[in-house]
């Protein structure tokens, strides 16, 4: 039997913690040969009491207070769901996990829990992901983390991290498969009417939030201009000419001000525009490719597959507005 400790900070989405527990609990039904069942699950709250106050107003009564648990206790897997609502809470959880990690076979985070693992130093030099809204924050606050922006979960040695919310369920199925094999994970997925492998690949389909440069000036003005001129020549040379800089100096200044190289910025805003048109409009892939500066459907498909692991047509089928004919 594998002992799981699920740490649920205050303000968590409780269905994340409960969902992980339910998925693991169902695995017990399909592992009759496991000694006492596949998993033993315990919840720990992070407050002075055992009540975890959920973001929705619902509460969960934990089995333990985290402060009462000895970090030297051996757990098969420690799971952190969310990052808490205060800096003090996050510091306490990070400190406990830092001391407990050497005694666990695996340490797992769901959604913002990756911020806690990073704070504990467990992600230094490792690949990791988190909710798409936190990707830039994770990278800027913890530059030693190798942030993966596409996958819904990432495994790097004994550390597993997932993207936001329900991505943690995909990760949990992956843990079951790692522990007890494909057949058990498949049986659990079928029982719970889940995808063992999401259609279109394991991508969180995060909305690219491309921020404008931090400071007012020519780079921010250029970014706004780019958004209105996606079909024009947006090469580095052309953009550098637009702001009267040499290409080399322009690339350096743009990257510093915007936090992203100019070519990558152009690709992301074009991709974002294409995604919106696929979600909201009925134009063909070729028409959308031309309207967003990709030139043709082949180029658009390549960018989609590289960034989202899915084709434009598959993306439209999954995210198209119901009102679009």
- The catalytically annotated residue of 111, 118, 135, 258 is 111
CA gap 18, 22 in Å, rounded: 6
Distant-in-sequence, close-in-space partners of 323: CB < 8 Å, separation ≥ 6: none
Residue carrying the six token digits 């230094």:
124
CA gap 239, 234 in Å, rounded: 6
Distant-in-sequence, close-in-space partners of 162: CB < 8 Å, separation ≥ 6: 108, 109, 110, 111, 129, 130, 152, 153, 154, 168, 170, 171
Sign of CA dihedral 106, 108, 114, 115: negative
What residues are paired with 79 via a beta bridge? 6, 108
Closest of 219, 217, 232 to residue 290, by C-alpha? 232
N- to C-terminal Cα separation, the chain = 52
Give burial (CB, 10 Å; 0-12/13-18/19+) of 306.
exposed
Q: What is the largest CA-CA distance in the chain?
A: 71
Q: Is 31 a catalytic residue?
A: no
**Catalytic sites, residue numbers:** 111
């Amino acid at each position: 039997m594998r002992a799981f400790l699920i740490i649920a900070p205050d303000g968590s989405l409780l269905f994340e913690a409960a969902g992980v527990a339910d998925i693991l609990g169902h695995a017990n039904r399909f592992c009759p040969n496991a000694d006492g069942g596949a998993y033993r699950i315990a919840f720990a709250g992070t407050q002075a009491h055992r009540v975890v106050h959920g973001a929705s107003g619902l509460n969960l009564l934990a089995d333990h207070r985290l402060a009462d648990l000895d970090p030297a206790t051996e757990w098969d897997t420690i799971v952190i769901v969310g990052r808490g609502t205060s800096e003090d809470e996050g510091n306490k959880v990070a400190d406990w996990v830092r001391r407990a990690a050497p005694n666990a076979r695996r340490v797992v985070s769901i959604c913002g829990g990756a911020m806690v693992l990073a704070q504990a130093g467990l992600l230094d030099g490792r690949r990791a992901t988190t909710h798409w809204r936190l990707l830039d924050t994770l990278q800027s606050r913890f530059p030693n983390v190798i942030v993966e922006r596409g996958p819904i979960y990432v495994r790097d040695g004994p550390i597993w991290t997932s993207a936001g919310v329900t991505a943690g369920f995909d990760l949990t199925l992956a843990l079951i498969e790692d522990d007890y094999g494909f057949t058990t994970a498949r049986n659990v997925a079928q029982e719970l009417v889940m995808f063992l492998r999401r259609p279109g690949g394991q991508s969180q389909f995060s909305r690219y939030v491309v921020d404008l440069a931090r400071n007012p000036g020519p780079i921010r003005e250029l970014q706004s201009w780019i958004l209105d001129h996606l079909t024009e020549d947006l090469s580095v040379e052309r953009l550098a000419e637009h702001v009267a800089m040499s290409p080399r100096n322009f690339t350096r200044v743009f990257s510093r001000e915007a936090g992203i190289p100019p070519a990558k910025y152009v690709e992301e805003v074009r991709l974002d525009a294409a995604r919106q048109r696929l979600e909201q409009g009925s134009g063909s892939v070729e028409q959308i490719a031309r309207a967003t500066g990709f030139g043709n459907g082949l180029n658009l498909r390549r960018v989609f597959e590289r960034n989202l692991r899915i084709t434009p047509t598959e993306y439209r089928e999954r995210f198209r507005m119901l009102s679009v004919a």
